Amino acid sequence: MAQKIGLNDRVNIQLPPKVEKISNANVAVVAKQNDIKLAVLPNSENKSTYIKDDVIITLFASKKKEQVDLVKLKKGLDEWGKTLAGYSSKIIEVNGNKFLITQNNTESKIRFYGTNPEGTSSVNGLLEFNERSKSKAGTTLESLMPSISFDK
């Protein structure tokens, strides 16, 4: 059964079935068990980490309201990513919300940045996986995006 989680007072997610929460203390252990190379992420009280099908999902939701322009963010990330092999980025719309998704072939990670239609509430996510779980990561992201909702 899916569970609804409030990431902050404006961002909620209905977690897909079979998603398990991982404590910050256990992330490295779970990554090692699943042969996943972790990115170094800042310690944050706004960080929530989960695992599903050998894919580690880390979500960040800022507690403060902020204006997020995904087009500008994409432009900056594309400039940085043009030197990376197989870098790709795209902005898509899901249930009225916008998501910027980035990926490159040099690492087993998918990053996403989501905003409400006004761009005033946001959530960022990182999916980390081993090479064998690449297709599972894409499927996991596709199931996550429609489950994210933003309160006014």
pTM for the full predicted model: 0.89
Position 56: which residue type? I
Tens digits of residue pLDDT in 119-151: 888 999 999 999 899 889 999 999 999 999 998
Residue 39 makes CB contacts below 8 A (sequence gap 6+) with 107, 109, 126, 128
CA 77 → CA 42, 60, 103, distances in Å? Answer: 19, 18, 11
β-bridge partners, 93: 98
Tens digits of residue pLDDT in 26-66: 888 898 888 888 877 666 667 889 999 899 999 998 777 88
The three-point CA angle 87-88-90 to 5° equals 160
Stretch (H or E) spanning 134: helix 134-144
Rg (CA), the chain: 15
Tens digits of residue pLDDT in 77-108: 999 998 888 899 999 999 999 999 999 877 89
Structural domains of the chain, with CATH: 3-150 (3.40.1000.10)
Residue 23 makes CB contacts below 8 A (sequence gap 6+) with 49
